[in-house]
Structure 1
Amino acid sequence: MNRLAASPSLPPHVLSEVVDWAITTRRSIRAFLPTPVPREEVEAILRVARTSASGVNTQPWRVHVVSGEAKQRLSEAITRIDNDPVLSAQLQEPYDYYPSEWTSPFIDRRRKVGWDLYGLLGIAKGDKDRMHAQHGRNYSFFGAPVGLFFTLNRVMRTGSFLDYGMFLQSLMIAARGRGLHTCPQVAFTKFHRVIASHLAIPDDELLVCGMSLGYADPDSVENSLVTEREPVDRFTTYHDAIKETQ
């Protein structure tokens, strides 16, 4: 696509509605249909995402796409470790994604989305076995036919994580424009050594996160979850020009 091309020949309000729809309907889907996603479609999505902004055009992203037997083998390897408390306890995160100490309102939002999901699935508080099983579905990509892993060269710093966020969002929005859904997953990061081994990722690459890509299963109750968002006036402050006083 020509990056200098004029906007599509649609009325402005229609164009904005389409873009807004793609953004607002992006959700973390936790049950996918087995319907295949052609490689050409994945490449088309990545071609759009590659135009994302990055500081001085560093383009720090690197993507590893898994499907078929490669995805199955990796899922099985991760699940074996996840189901072994001794092996799982030996894993270390490659970087700090979450805070070491949670405070309100962040801990409240985290708890709510967790209990809302478990409530839909009928998982009672304290049912650790079912909680573990549900969390473990991350490692089968929630049934999605395509998995993606995103890495960052270790020489890069905090700014590149900002760039990466824009890249990931662009990818997910491009997927929505094609009727696809995604689930970005930090749950994979503690298995970075296993993933690196299976995919021959060099040591100088840091695993940022994983992602599931496919068609949402409309009949799965977990996909009815719509997480709440704060209204604009709760996180926005408008600073109007201050009039000079005499």
Structure 2
Amino acid sequence: MNVTEAVATRRSIRQFLPTAVPQDALQRVLQKAQRSPSGGNTQPWNAVILTGQPLADLTAKIKAKAATAPMGEGHEYDIYPKSLEGRYEDQRRGVGKAMFDALGLAREDGAGRVAQMMKNWDSFDAPVQLFTYTRKYMGPPQWSDMGMWLQTVMLLLREEGLDSCAQEIWAMYGTYMRELLNIDDDHIFFCGMAIGYRDADAPINNFTVPRVEIGQAIRWEGF
């Protein structure tokens, strides 16, 4: 698989097969991903990877927390800007509508939509979770570096025939996630990433996710 194929076939998978993920495949991915760029070679990313009983235990605890604090508790950053507007907000709402439409969940079906959101805590049945964090003093450039590392991991997972779903939703319980993962107070929790093999027949993995034309995001000069 070349880079173009990996980019074209990567998508946020929200229904995984129960197939186990070989540790050696993850080891290859993460070893290669260490070549990701970072300003000053700071390499600010850190991660904890869970599977099996440790993941099951964490899942049970975070679901119990979500039941008592459904709007989140102890989040340490805003997942979306409070002032999100224009095409950015339109795109966010649009992909949500497309996802629920693919599942046949009408806007009025609040219970069905909540049930779908709750599947985040089960990692969409993925057998592996990668949780990312960094030092609290890191700034926007280092958070960008973390994003480049995560993107590199996601593309290398495709090379291995694996899939993923980056999940910032775990940050709704950021301080509790640090407690569960034994991450000290000098760090800030960023996100999770479900990893596994996609259920290719699941409607939620097949709806169209549009991208804006590059003319809306890119300006050319001197060409």
Structure 1 residue ranges (4+ consecutive) displaced by more than 3 angstroms after TM superposition: none
Letter in 1 for 2:105: I
Structure 1 CA distance, aligned partners of 2:94 and 2:137?
A: 36
The correspondence of residues 8-23 of structure 1 with structure 2, limited to 5 A, is 18-23=2-7
How far residue 102 of structure 1 moved from its aligned partner, in angstroms, is: 2.4
Summarize the Cα distance change of 1:53–1:224 in structure 2 as closer, same or farther, 3 Å threshold: same
When the two chains are superposed, the root-mean-square deviation of aligned CA atoms in Å is 1.4
How far residue 78 of structure 1 moved from its aligned partner, in angstroms, is: 1.1
How far residue 77 of structure 1 moved from its aligned partner, in angstroms, is: 1.1
- Determine the structure 2 residue equivalent to 1:158: 140
What's the TM-score once normalised by structure 1's chain length?
0.87
- Determine the structure 2 residue equivalent to 1:168: 150
Structure 2 CA distance, aligned partners of 1:215 and 1:175?
A: 10
8 Å contact from structure 1 (residues 27, 226) kept in 2: no
How far residue 89 of structure 1 moved from its aligned partner, in angstroms, is: 4.3
Structure 1 CA distance, aligned partners of 2:125 and 2:208?
A: 20
Letter in 2 for 1:54: S
How far residue 74 of structure 1 moved from its aligned partner, in angstroms, is: 0.8
- Determine the structure 2 residue equivalent to 1:244: none
How far residue 227 of structure 1 moved from its aligned partner, in angstroms, is: 0.6
How far residue 23 of structure 1 moved from its aligned partner, in angstroms, is: 1.1
Instruction: For residues 58-87 of structure 1, give each alpha carbon's deviation from its aligned partner in whole angstroms, at most 9, with x where no partner exists.
Output: 000001001001111111111122223xx3
How far residue 123 of structure 1 moved from its aligned partner, in angstroms, is: 0.9
Letter in 1 for 2:22: P
Q: Does the alignment pair 1:208 with 2:161?
A: no
Structure 1 CA distance, aligned partners of 2:114 and 2:59?
A: 15
How far residue 90 of structure 1 moved from its aligned partner, in angstroms, is: 6.0
8 Å contact from structure 1 (residues 188, 210) kept in 2: yes
The correspondence of residues 1-246 of structure 1 with structure 2, limited to 5 A, is 18-84=2-68, 87-89=69-71, 91-240=73-222
8 Å contact from structure 2 (residues 74, 175) kept in 1: no
Letter in 2 for 1:240: G
Which secondary structure state, in structure 1, belongs to the residue aligned with residue 37 of structure 2?
coil
Of stretches 108-117 and 229-238 in structure 1, the one that deviates more from structure 2 is: 229-238
Structure 1 CA distance, aligned partners of 2:133 and 2:157?
A: 20
Structure 2 CA distance, aligned partners of 1:59 and 1:169?
A: 14
Instruction: For residues 134-173 of structure 1, give each alpha carbon's deviation from its aligned partner in whole angstroms, at most 9, with x where no partner exists.
Output: 1111111100010010001112111101111110100000
8 Å contact from structure 1 (residues 75, 139) kept in 2: yes
Q: Which residues of structure 2 form unaligned runs of 5+? A: none
Summarize the Cα distance change of 1:93–1:220 in structure 2 as closer, same or farther, 3 Å threshold: same
What percent identity do the matched residue pairs reach?
Answer: 33
Summarize the Cα distance change of 1:89–1:173 in structure 2 as closer, same or farther, 3 Å threshold: closer
How far residue 42 of structure 1 moved from its aligned partner, in angstroms, is: 1.0
